[in-house]
Structure 1
Amino acid sequence: MADAFAMLKNIKETGKKVVGFYCVYAPQELVLAADVLGFALCATKEEAIPAGEKTLPRNFCPLIKSSYGFAVTDKCPYFLYSDIIIGETTCDGKKKMFELMKEFKPVHVMKLPQTYLDDNDKAYWLNEVKILKDLLEKELGTKITEEKLREAIKVLNEERRLMQELSECMKNDPVPMTGQDFLKLMWGRNFVTDRTEFAQQIKEIINDMQESIAKGEAAMPQGAKRILVTGVPTGIGSEKVIKIIEDCGAAVVYIENCSGMKQFVTLVDESKPPLEAIADKYLSTPCSCMSPNPIRLENLAKLIKDYRIDGVVDITWQGCHTYNVESRVVKEFLKKNGDTPFLQIETDYSQGDVEQIKTRVQAFLEMMA
């Protein structure tokens, strides 16, 4: 990522195509099977927000404003060099952003159903996946065969298994890695050009962490309060809440959101027909845009037990109504199921509320003492 402009320019000059996507609902197996490069475009830095606000309302979600700001200014090389953008209807704000983007970039928007529980919705989503396959073949001049899909499924499933194994190391007390470093690893996966090399790097990091555990080496003190972070996607540039939690002495041992482990916990069923299996995996993503969203609650209950969580911090971006509403649902669920301490933090990408958040986090941790 050090010089993405030069890297992508060189790749494009070889004739390689690039696909950008904004959400974990975008089926990456189709991108890999099309023999093109795929990169995540969700922006997590404040610098592009003023450019985004020239078109979008100021009270919009910062993720959308930042994403649009980077796109409209050509400051994001991954957007600039993308041949096609895959969008999705996870929220009204992003739908309108994609509508504006279509004025200067080829954008295909996948239409999500309202729930992942209904067979009719599953059939609807499978058709959306088929539409995307046909579109990628037509627009990128490629052929996505069943054989290529099965190979892509194996590659990405192995990646998911490795990330799960990496996450298992965070069950140790003391933890061998900070939550901030764990986030960097998961974030870096969004910009991989050589998946074999990436898999080998993760294997080496797992070995390093296991050696640290065996030696008693740790990133945080033994007995540090163990925190699970959930809620909206957080990435490099918007990780201030995770940093504050760890600066206050607690250990972020699990990041549940879709920029964290949420995208890795479910594998594609390799025994099913490829497109059907891919559709099933991605539709089961427990995003707050789904109503109801019981899988998120079930997963949280299991994670709290498995990772011996002392407290849950739910991050909500200002203007993200679905996660804001669901925060109340999560709080009530945790109260009734083990009474795990819960803290919701509603914020944006700015640094103006850092001290306020720090005070709240300190009080939250003291309450657990």
Structure 2
Amino acid sequence: MSTFTDAVTDDGDSSDSDAAEMFPAVTDALSVVTKPHEYARDWKRRHDAPVVAYLSTYVPREILWASGVLPVRAFGSRRPEDVTVGDEHHNRRLFCPFSRDVLAQGLLGRYDYTDGIVLASVCLHLRQTFDAWVQEVASEEDFTHYIAMPHGTPAETGDEFLPVKRHGVDYASAPDGGTCPHAPAAYLTTKFDRLRAELESFTGAPLTDDDLEAAINVYDRSRKLLRDIYAYRAEPEPRLSGTDATALVTAGQLMDPHEYVDVLESALAQLEDGAGEPRAVDARLMVVTAVGDDRTLYRTVERELEYDATIVVEDSSVGTTDFYRPVSEPSRGPPAKDDDPLKAIARRYLDRPPYPSKQWDNRREHLRSLVSEYDVDGVLIVLEERCDIHLRDIPHETNLFEEELDVPTLTVVAEKGRVPPGQLKTRVEAFVEEITTPSMEGLY
């Protein structure tokens, strides 16, 4: 049986990079992305400290890191044979391939070095993965914690209780749909305070406000560096491909944040020094998807088409939804420095660009801004098979892009973890041809 490290390395190594020799920092990131378990095991040996897996980017990594724990996002292998592991035992065929694939990695022992698992709610599918992991993978000594995330943030400061609207339907702030006596920020702060207390019990050490402030600072530094790096993707002929950019983002979900900041500072310095060859671009594409960790899709679009297509930005959890909105720069309300650290962190995770399962109004504005900022020609919507929450959003996404912004879309489905390569290449080539061919409307 192959290990996950072998599986990912077979799928891609440093040759994944479009500019490995010109961007050594990308090679550094890929060395972690392609061998995540080796990195985490080595970090654990070097620091003699716990490593805890997490299942969604709504998990506040700042709090885990402040307690002395390395947070490592649990990914699947994107291999069809792994997706079905555990299906019979856990009756999971109706769940999305990503959630099944992630659980499979735990069942196969590929996360045997971790000391726990944490989930902040995004969907029922990952909740079932979390429950099965706790029952079948975690030991009695492991740290296991579930955070019930509110569905959105009210207007203005986010501190009053107001109903949250999703596609015109009112939802209470409480995740169970009931009445919540608190505003979302206050409610989530209490949840994070409980996480703090349980981490103190797990590690046997106090988690101070100073620890939290230090963690906020290092994670915010990485978010701001990524924004600066992504600005180079907005160039008319970008020198950084989507394949390389998403490798940089993925690395941040796996690495020690201080080591990660070093990688990003190096990447930014290389870009500022003019590294990289400008990419000729027939079509500037945006990817909209739930996860976004499938590098095969990026390589196919950017390397294997008859046209010069570049993915200039993505709305995904391995993309802008993860690093936009630092804790220190809320989009509304008073500056975070006036809040206690836990409340500042809570407001950031409510204020960040939301998953499809969260508030559409905020998500819509984020998508609109990305199209403008990165001068997007077309949108590639990648639906994970059986991802009900994204499926529900797609009609609203296509209406926004096509009707309001006059940007064409193409929707493809990732079956058992991946869009079939032949189908992907054929359909995206036709899509790019449609974008690049002058309209004949009005000629006849």
CA contact (8 A) 1:44 1:349 kept: no
Query: Structure 2 residue aligned with 1:288, among 352, 356, 360?
Result: 356
**Equivalent residue, structure 2, for 1:338:** 405
CA contact (8 A) 2:52 2:69 kept: yes
CA distance in 1, matches of 2:65, 2:402: 42
CA contact (8 A) 1:20 1:40 kept: yes
**Equivalent residue, structure 2, for 1:298:** 365
**CA drift at 1:3:** 7.5
CA distance in 1, matches of 2:39, 2:323: 30
| Amino acid aligned to 1:23 | S
Pairwise CA RMSD: 2.1
**CA drift at 1:16:** 0.9
1:57 is aligned to 2:92: yes
Query: Structure 2 residue aligned with 1:261, among 320, 336, 347?
Result: 320
**Equivalent residue, structure 2, for 1:92:** 124
**Equivalent residue, structure 1, for 2:274:** 212
**CA drift at 1:202:** 1.4
Q: Secondary structure at the match of 1:90?
A: coil
Which sections of structure 2, spanning at least 5 residues, go unmatched? Answer: 1-31, 162-182, 329-335, 437-444
**Equivalent residue, structure 2, for 1:19:** 52
Name the stretch that deviates more: 81-90 or 152-161.
81-90
**CA drift at 1:191:** 2.0
1:262-291 alpha-carbon deviations (Å, 9 max, x no partner):
11111103412111110011122311111x
**CA drift at 1:187:** 1.2
**Equivalent residue, structure 2, for 1:240:** 296
1:177 is aligned to 2:211: no
Q: Secondary structure at the match of 2:49?
A: coil
| Amino acid aligned to 1:41 | A
**Equivalent residue, structure 1, for 2:26:** none
CA distance in 2, matches of 1:175, 1:20: 34
Larger Rg, first or second structure (1 or 2)? 2
TM-score when scaled to structure 2?
A: 0.76
CA contact (8 A) 1:174 1:224 kept: no
CA contact (8 A) 2:288 2:379 kept: yes
CA contact (8 A) 1:171 1:306 kept: yes
| Amino acid aligned to 2:301 | I
1:4 is aligned to 2:37: yes
**Equivalent residue, structure 2, for 1:228:** 286
Aligned residue-pair number = 358
Q: Secondary structure at the match of 1:80?
A: coil
CA distance in 2, matches of 1:11, 1:332: 47
- The structure-2 alpha-carbon separation of the partners of 1:65 and 1:225, relative to structure 1 and needing over 3 Å to count, comes to same
Pairing of 1:327-366 with structure 2 (within 5 A): 327-349=394-416, 353-366=420-433
- The structure-2 alpha-carbon separation of the partners of 1:7 and 1:217, relative to structure 1 and needing over 3 Å to count, comes to closer
CA contact (8 A) 1:170 1:176 kept: yes
1:314-356 alpha-carbon deviations (Å, 9 max, x no partner):
1110010000110111111123322111112122345672212
**Equivalent residue, structure 1, for 2:340:** 273
Query: Structure 1 residue aligned with 2:147, among 110, 115, 125?
Result: 110
- The structure-2 alpha-carbon separation of the partners of 1:40 and 1:168, relative to structure 1 and needing over 3 Å to count, comes to same
Which sections of structure 1, spanning at least 5 residues, go unmatched? Answer: none
**CA drift at 1:40:** 0.7
Name the stretch that deviates more: 116-125 or 322-331.
116-125
CA contact (8 A) 1:244 1:358 kept: yes
Query: Structure 2 residue aligned with 1:146, among 209, 215, 221?
Result: 209
CA contact (8 A) 1:227 1:311 kept: yes
1:40 is aligned to 2:98: no
CA distance in 1, matches of 2:43, 2:325: 34
**CA drift at 1:244:** 2.6
| Amino acid aligned to 2:300 | I
| Amino acid aligned to 2:117 | I
- The structure-2 alpha-carbon separation of the partners of 1:350 and 1:323, relative to structure 1 and needing over 3 Å to count, comes to closer
CA contact (8 A) 2:251 2:260 kept: no
**Equivalent residue, structure 1, for 2:261:** 199
- The structure-2 alpha-carbon separation of the partners of 1:217 and 1:7, relative to structure 1 and needing over 3 Å to count, comes to closer
- The structure-2 alpha-carbon separation of the partners of 1:124 and 1:364, relative to structure 1 and needing over 3 Å to count, comes to same
- The structure-2 alpha-carbon separation of the partners of 1:251 and 1:200, relative to structure 1 and needing over 3 Å to count, comes to same
**CA drift at 1:209:** 2.1
Name the stretch that deviates more: 347-356 or 148-157.
347-356
- The structure-2 alpha-carbon separation of the partners of 1:277 and 1:10, relative to structure 1 and needing over 3 Å to count, comes to closer
CA contact (8 A) 1:130 1:275 kept: yes
TM-score when scaled to structure 1?
A: 0.90
**Percent identity over the alignment?**
21
Q: Secondary structure at the match of 2:313?
A: strand
CA distance in 2, matches of 1:24, 1:366: 35
More helix by share: 1
**CA drift at 1:362:** 1.3
CA distance in 2, matches of 1:209, 1:366: 30
